[in-house]
Structure 1
Amino acid sequence: MAPNIDNEETVVVDEVLDLGKLAKEKGSYMVYPDVKYPPLQPFEHKDPGKLADPKKASLFDNASKIYDLSPHVGTVIEGLQLSQLSEQQKNDLALLAAERGVVFFKKQDLNPYQAIELGRHYGPLHLHNSTGHPPGLPEIISIYHDETNPAVRNANAFRSASDGIHTDISYEHNPAALSILKIDLLPLGPGGNPVGGDTIWWSGYAAYDRLSAPMQKFVEGLSAVHTGEYHKLLAQKHGRPIRREFPPDTVHPVVRTHPVTGWKALFVQPGFTKSIVGLSKHESDAVLKFLYNHVAGGYDFSVRFKWEEGSVGVWDNRCTFHCAIFDYFDTGRRHGFRVTPQGEKPFYDPNSKSKKQAEEEARNANKQ
């Protein structure tokens, strides 16, 4: 449902608006309009990944190079422009992201308008109710931090980086399906080379597979409460308007089934998960702390991506966690922009399989 943005600040912009250049020249350009969005309505999601070619030939046959960054998560595609993908390539990308968690594209010409168009292929775009965005483009979330903002630097100075692990907007009834992020400005070190500002992703599939069988059985029967309280308090702290009331706390399964792959993925994270339904606070805190540490310590099922200006990450929030690394506040500024299509309400199918189980069965079938 489109928001009411009649009173929102608007500007006339060029269709090749360069937000990276704007951030470099003007710094923080974002607006926080005091307007009201209507509540989001639940919807039934039709995932384009279900229309994909299992071989993903439209991508593999046309890219100049495709390679995995780690065994469980992260694939790089070279030689394709996201701004020029065909319908079939967009569908195949949805499947690849569902399988590999996050897909990276380098040297992209994608502008904000093209990002919005691409994102809408994967679901209704989430209009964030408290973060900043470019004037007139509420579909875009601007990612911007620099060395001149002591409030942000101080807020993160004594905070564990793992506290920032999350999946985007998991507190919504229909959380994020994919997220599409372009980084176009990086902090520079003393030698003038980009340094810092990496992002880490973890595989939710492998996080589930790495649990013991008794623990898998235990967590599969649980549901967790997700809350947007962090974003709400952040907006209030900085005196920024909340454009749509945050939804009541939502309940999602601790282990969810991916609608495209059919694989089980762990789906709790310190960013927005509040508690586990049916457990006492002591029990809930203990279980969540274990699961958070399990993910944060998952060096064997994570990938750390070193951004280049013009790189784009396309990740599936239903089977990954991610965390930005704030190690550059004394170095320089970092900027990017993101669109976030929403997906289905998370569900758990007791007949679904783990990624490890599905792959083992496929290998055995091929031997026969």
Structure 2
Amino acid sequence: MLGTLISQPPIKKQNNLFYEPGRTSIEDNSDYEHDGLRPNFPNVHWEPLTEVPYQDNGIEGDPHFHNLLANATDIFDCNPKIGPEIHGVNLAKLTNPQKDDLARLIATRGVVFFRNQEDFDIDAQRQLGKYYGKLHKHATTSVPCRGDLDDVHVVYTDQYSKE
């Protein structure tokens, strides 16, 4: 028995999406858990910049990054132009040889991604940065209102921020 195939026009789905470029609703941050890291523009004056000696720690790093990747659970390139994403490495607990490997990997790839760094707070981030050299102060940008973080640049947006 032969049947008849009847072609039905596709049903058009009504789309209720609305998009305005550059407009993203921002949550109320009045109970922000990192309140001490909100932007602040203190009236401070620092000594003029001077030449700072520098040693490239990446030179000491392993060309195959064995120290850094010893505890890694996964590593993959995000794409051929952007560096790898590494899982299973805790940035707050790197040894000096692991830090050297990280410097070499960043010098090689430009960008390296690490997710789920729960214990990598602002102080641990600064401590890692100090391993590579003196931290720089940005005299024309905001610093955290906590008061002891002159070398931290704040990027912050809340519901009152200008476009």
TM-score of the superposition, structure 2-length normalised?
A: 0.73
Report runs of 4+ in structure 1 exceeding 3 Å deviation.
none
Shift of 1:33: 1.2
| Partner in structure 2 of residue 120 of structure 1 | 130
| Partner in structure 1 of residue 143 of structure 2 | 133
- The structure whose residues are more often strand, as a share, is 1
Shift of 1:148: 2.3
Indicate the SS of the match to 1:66: strand
CA contact (8 A) 2:38 2:156 kept: no
Please tell me the residue identity of whatever aligns with 1:53: D
Please tell me the residue identity of whatever aligns with 2:138: H
Indicate the SS of the match to 2:104: helix
Aligned mates of 1:81, 1:61 — CA distance in 2: 11
Pairing partner for 2:76 from 63, 67, 71 = 67
| Partner in structure 2 of residue 143 of structure 1 | 155
Residue correspondence of structure 1 range 87-126 to structure 2 within 5 A: 87-108=96-117, 109-126=119-136
| Partner in structure 1 of residue 28 of structure 2 | none
Is 1:38 equivalent to 2:50 in the alignment? Answer: no
| Partner in structure 1 of residue 94 of structure 2 | 85
CA contact (8 A) 2:86 2:112 kept: yes
Please tell me the residue identity of whatever aligns with 1:122: Y
Indicate the SS of the match to 1:41: coil
Aligned mates of 1:29, 1:80 — CA distance in 2: 28
Aligned-pair identity in percent equals: 36
Aligned mates of 1:105, 1:145 — CA distance in 2: 23
The size of the alignment, in residue pairs, is 129
TM-score of the superposition, structure 1-length normalised?
A: 0.34
Q: Structure 1, residues 67-116: CA drift from partner, whole Å, max 9, x if none?
A: 11011222101011110000010000000011111001101021111111
- The structure whose residues are more often helix, as a share, is 1
Q: Structure 1, residues 31-63: CA drift from partner, whole Å, max 9, x if none?
A: 211111011112332110011111110122210
CA RMSD of aligned residues (A): 1.7
Q: Which runs of 5+ in 2 are unaligned?
A: 1-31
